[in-house]
């Protein structure tokens, strides 16, 4: 699913209207139908609707009318018409609502007497949506504070009012609605996917209101939201005549002595992700624990007892992942950069590999192009130079990916994959149970396995991140998020692959045919 920028949204609106030969108010009605359907499914009967002067307000007034048509609903609606007037569709919906007998409707042109809001009410926030052009202040700022202080349940239409679609660094956080749920229209907006806006967005629901994909107007976007269909198009069937050589050989360089778990988790995840063979280079003293823990892995022991100290030739391997539990000692850092500099196979750098780069920022120039880096927010702050919030971390990751030709996987709730071409793919799977030690090592192992099977970097990142999150979701469904540990994600990888590659078994057309296998 493509995600369009704030500037592009009116064009998508226009394309939809043209392609489907409808009026813009019909599209508004469609949006309102989805929102009212959702609201009716909640166990509340009192709805207090707040409409602004633009089309977000128009949506809200249409929602008020649709809710009022259902028996037993107690509807109060306020329209704030205190500035330069209403948008034409907002005005049309005001007129339609004014004819509705069972709604208590007030148009505010000057003074507003706030109603009593108790916890049995739903505030429907239709003040501002994607047309917000500066932070809220004055009366609207105060109104938002009134919402946020009330015990009522808040549902925002399209955007929590006050939140800008993309960059909120200069916003006034006290003047942004803190919704319990946001029903966004068509596709998510970038700001809704940023961790530090979760407190405003609440639960995010996307209503598919049948918007155009922009093709007819030649509109393209650098942002995409990866869903199951995209992944099904990436995932390949296994060659039934394949042998372990044809499924690739992954090399993992991981773990100091005392951090063997990182290597174990990454290796197990790698083995569960379809690769033919995995070799782990690790310090001598990790020998016994790794041999016992993962009999399927081949070990390549570093001569140093306790840490990675010397690089190896990678000619016999198809992909390398380096960094989990690696340590950052001087000796290891020197071996790391030598290893990375001489590597010509697809490469993933994670965890302490990123910390080494943070300690030696000049080395970033020496990383081969097409390398995959997997920082979480803090690691991005360390390897970057100016990120202070989620959005600036995203833009810095995007700039770095383009400048150095890297693939940067910025990990989080909606993990973002930034490519050298300037594209960003947001992931749609995963849960907070995955915020547990070792979960990142699992992701690294999965991606290394996919690269060794000759998935391109873009495919390996998208598929790997999706499978990792899906495995986390499957594990959380069985065990709950609270108790989830990284090993549970690995246990669920097979089920994740099964769900994605499940094809209808081919049926013989008649008993005269025998399908061998």
Ligand X SMILES: NC(=O)C1=CN([C@@H]2O[C@H](COP(=O)(O)OP(=O)(O)OC[C@H]3O[C@@H](n4cnc5c(N)ncnc54)[C@H](OP(=O)(O)O)[C@@H]3O)[C@@H](O)[C@H]2O)[C@@H](O)CC1
Ligand Y SMILES: Nc1ncnc2c1ncn2[C@@H]1O[C@H](COP(=O)(O)OP(=O)(O)O)[C@@H](O)[C@H]1O
Query: What residues make contact with K ion under the rule CB under 5 A?
Result: 125, 129, 156-157, 161
- CB of 333 closer than 8 Å to CB of 309: no
27/372 with CB nearer ligand X? 27
**Interior CA angle at 447 toward 411 and 369, to 5°?**
85
Residue 311 marked in a binding site: no
**What is the Cα Rg of the chain in Å?**
27
Residue 414 marked in a binding site: yes
Residue 439 CB-half CA count within 13 A: 28
For residue 372, the cross-strand partners are 348, 407
Q: Among residues 164, 32, 48, which one has the least CA distance to residue 89?
A: 32
Q: How many residues bind ligand Y (CB under 6 A)?
A: 18
140/425 with CB nearer K ion? 140
Residues in contact with ligand X by the rule CB under 6 A: 9, 12-13, 27-28, 31, 52-59, 84, 87, 128-134, 136, 140, 157-159, 185-186, 211
Residue 132 marked in a binding site: yes
Residue 213 marked in a binding site: no
**Residue 438 in contact with ligand Y, rule: CB under 6 A:** yes
Return the residue of 54, 186, 323, 440 that touches ligand Y, per CB under 6 A. 440
If contact means CB under 5 to 8 A according to the sort of partner, which of K ion, ligand Y, ligand X, none does residue 283 touch? Answer: none
Q: How far is CA 420 from CA 220, 226, 230, 351, 402, in A?
A: 17, 18, 20, 21, 4
Helix (H) or strand (E) holding 398: helix 390-404
If contact means CB under 5 to 8 A according to the sort of partner, which of ligand X, K ion, ligand Y, none does residue 186 touch? Answer: ligand X
- CB of 218 closer than 8 Å to CB of 14: no
CB of 50 to K ion, least distance (A): 9
**Residue 484 in contact with ligand Y, rule: CB under 6 A:** no
Residue 95 CB-half CA count within 13 A: 7
The two tokens of residue 464 are 């790997």
Q: Where are the alpha helices (DSSP H) in 314-389?
A: 330-342, 352-359, 377-383
CB of 417 to ligand Y, least distance (A): 11
Q: Among residues 372, 371, 253, which one has the least CA distance to residue 311?
A: 253
Residue 413 marked in a binding site: yes
Show the site string, 369-388: x = touches ligand Y by CB under 6 A, - = not. -------x------------
CB of 126 to K ion, least distance (A): 5
CA-based diameter of the chain, in Å? 84
- CB of 326 closer than 8 Å to CB of 348: no
Which region, judged by CB under 6 A, interacts with ligand Y, from 97-105, 282-290, 391-399, 406-414?
Answer: 406-414
Show the site string, 418-437: x = touches ligand Y by CB under 6 A, - = not. ------------xxx-xx-x
If contact means CB under 5 to 8 A according to the sort of partner, which of K ion, ligand X, ligand Y, none does residue 387 touch? Answer: none
Q: Which residues bind ligand Y (CB under 6 A)?
A: 351, 376, 411-413, 415, 430-432, 434-435, 437-441, 443, 468
Extract the annotated binding site. Answer: 55-59, 125, 129-135, 158, 161, 262, 325, 376, 411-415, 440-441
Extract the annotated binding site for AMP. Answer: 411-415, 440
């Amino acid at each position: 699913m493509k995600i369009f920028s704030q500037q592009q949204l009116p064009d998508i609106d226009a394309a939809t209207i043209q392609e489907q030969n409808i009026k813009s108010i019909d599209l508004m009605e469609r949006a309102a139908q989805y929102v009212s359907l959702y609201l009716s499914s909640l166990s509340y009967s009192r709805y207090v609707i707040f409409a602004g002067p633009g089309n977000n307000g128009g949506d809200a007034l249409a929602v008020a009318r649709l809710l009022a048509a259902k028996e037993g609903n107690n509807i109060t609606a306020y329209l704030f018409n205190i500035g330069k007037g209403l948008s034409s569709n907002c005005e049309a919906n005001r007129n339609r609502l004014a004819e509705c007998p069972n709604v208590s409707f007030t148009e505010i042109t000057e003074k507003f007497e706030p109603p009593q809001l108790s916890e049995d009410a739903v505030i429907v926030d239709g003040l501002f949506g994607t047309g917000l052009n500066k932070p809220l202040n004055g009366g609207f700022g105060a109104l938002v504070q009134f919402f946020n202080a009330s015990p009522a349940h808040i549902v925002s239409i399209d955007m929590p009012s006050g939140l800008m679609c993309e960059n909120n660094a200069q916003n006034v956080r006290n003047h942004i609605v803190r919704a319990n749920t946001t029903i966004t229209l068509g596709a998510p907006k970038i700001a809704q996917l940023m961790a530090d806006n979760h407190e405003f967005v609440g639960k995010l629901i996307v209503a598919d209101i049948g918007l155009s994909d922009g093709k007819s107007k030649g509109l393209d976007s650098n942002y995409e939201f990866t869903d199951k269909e995209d992944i099904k198009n990436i995932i390949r069937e296994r060659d039934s005549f394949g042998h372990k050589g044809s499924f690739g050989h992954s090399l993992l360089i991981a773990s100091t002595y005392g951090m063997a778990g990182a290597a174990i988790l990454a290796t197990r995840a790698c083995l569960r992700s379809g690769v033919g063979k995995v070799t782990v280079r690790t310090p001598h003293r990790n020998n016994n624990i790794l041999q016992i823990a993962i009999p399927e892995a081949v070990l390549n022991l570093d001569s140093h007892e306790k840490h990675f100290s010397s690089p190896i030739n990678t000619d016999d391997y198809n992909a390398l992942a380096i960094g989990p539990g690696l340590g950052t000692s001087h000796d290891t850092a020197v071996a790391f950069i030598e290893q990375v500099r001489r590597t010509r196979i697809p490469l993933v750098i994670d965890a302490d590999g990123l910390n080494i780069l943070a300690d030696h920022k000049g080395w970033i120039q020496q990383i081969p192009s097409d390398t995959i880096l997997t920082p979480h927010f803090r690691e991005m702050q360390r390897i970057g130079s100016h990120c202070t919030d989620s959005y600036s971390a995203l833009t810095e990751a995007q700039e770095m990916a383009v400048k150095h030709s890297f693939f940067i996987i910025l990990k989080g709730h909606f993990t973002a994959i930034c490519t050298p071409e300037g594209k960003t793919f947001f992931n749609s799977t995963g849960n907070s149970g995955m915020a547990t030690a070792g979960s990142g090592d699992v992701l690294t192992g999965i991606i290394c396995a996919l690269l060794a099977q000759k998935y391109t970097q873009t495919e390996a990142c998208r598929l790997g991140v999706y499978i990792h999150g899906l495995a986390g979701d499957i594990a959380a469904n069985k065990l709950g998020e609270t108790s989830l540990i990284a090993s549970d994600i690995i246990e669920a990888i097979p089920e994740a692959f099964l769900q994605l590659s499940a094809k209808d078994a081919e049926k013989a057309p008649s008993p005269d045919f025998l399908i061998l296998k």
